[in-house]
Amino acid sequence: MQILHPVFTVSVLFMMAFSVMEGYQNQYKNYKEAWFVIMALILFSGFRMNAGADYGSYTNMYQYYGLTATYPQILEGATFRTTDIEVEWLFVLIGKVFFDLGMPFHYFSFFIAIISIIPKFYSFQKNSVYPALSWLLYMFPQYFTSDAGQIRQGVAMGLVFLSLEFIKQRRLIPFLIVIYLSMSFHKSSVIFIPAYWFVRYNFNSRSILTVILICMALSPLKIFNYMDFLNSVAPEEIYAGYTDYIALQHSRGGVMFTDLLCLLYTYFLVMYDKQACAKIPYYEYGRNLTVAGICIYFIMRGSPIFSSRLTSIYLVFSAIALPNAVAAVGNLQMRRYLYTTLLAFVVFYYFVYAEMQADKANYTPGSYRNFIWS
């Protein structure tokens, strides 16, 4: 049985301990000490050595654009015009600054990890009754595939999480500014713009189930083949590593597993919707975003790239919606049972990720290395 490197395994165990303390008390309490685990995970991601999807390609890109790109050339990309630089402009700009300061790639990677991970856990603390559980639900697999893998999308996703605050405040211009910054790291973030309005849609359990079933029925039609604009929103990755990484999930049963994940999410959203809407402020926002992610997944299910990249930017909000749905359950015994179920799911996903992807991504005990101690 494969496991993750001890630094990640211990981090998961500590976060699970905080999660148990959050979920099994008679009153709701968050533990600020969980930030120490987050800081450790930033170090493990930022200073990793040859680990994660496209690590080698990112180091080559850092050197190449550091040597060849000019600042005026980079800034031309701020208007998303076609340039000789094939990567989003703000990501290249930050890398160029670090390169010109004479810093090695892992210092740049560390900075990217900071601006990628901190906004997410901050958002969990602001919007989830159980932030430690939210992080655990997010961690597998997004921490490894985004924050410590396809890092451009990781930063973009962090900014998308921050934009939720402006959605709640109904401040359109600041929301659009944050989405613009997010698109400047990964342009697939443009698909999140409709979220500003979609979060206000008044779903109930029946309508949630109906719209998801409709999208499941549309899945075999592969209607994404008639949406040419999607190629500009979420094109094939410039470098092969991430594409191969996603293909591995499909070839080894990843699609079926994601199907089951979406069904699990649907169960919680349908069964506990009424209680959560009544008790948890802004619960319906996280719920609606999760519903959008499920629907996009089933519609794009036939495409490894579209069903992962366009889905994840919405589906990650399940890490907020599910814990809040559990927190709204009035019966203490049932609430603890559901909480235990989600923790068991995290443990299960730990072993699924370790078995299916950790070896390829160099996150196993024998393959993971870090500049801090290597």
Please tell me the predicted confidence (pLDDT) of residue 244. 46
How far is it, in rounded angstroms, from Cα 250 to Cα 162? 31
Alpha carbon separation from 130 to 21, 126, 280 (Å, rounded)? 10, 10, 12
Please tell me the predicted confidence (pLDDT) of residue 222. 81
- The pLDDT averaged over each successive group of 10 residues in the chain (374 residues) is 96 97 84 97 98 93 97 93 89 98 98 98 97 97 94 97 98 98 95 97 97 93 72 51 46 64 96 96 98 94 75 95 96 95 96 93 97 94
Residue 119, preceding bond cis, omega within 30 degrees?
A: no
Please tell me the predicted confidence (pLDDT) of residue 81. 81
Please tell me the predicted confidence (pLDDT) of residue 257. 80
Structure tokens at 75: 């800034």
Structure tokens at 19: 């999660």
Please tell me the predicted confidence (pLDDT) of residue 132. 97
pLDDT 10s digits, 38-60: 999 999 999 999 999 889 999 99
- Determine the angle formed by the axes of helices 283-299 and 205-218, rounding to 10 degrees: 20
Please tell me the predicted confidence (pLDDT) of residue 27. 73
Check: CB of residue 318 under 8 Å from CB of residue 265: yes
pLDDT 10s digits, 132-186: 999 999 999 999 999 999 999 999 999 999 999 999 999 999 999 999 999 999 9
How far is it, in rounded angstroms, from Cα 29 to Cα 221? 47
Does this model's pTM top 0.85? My answer is: yes
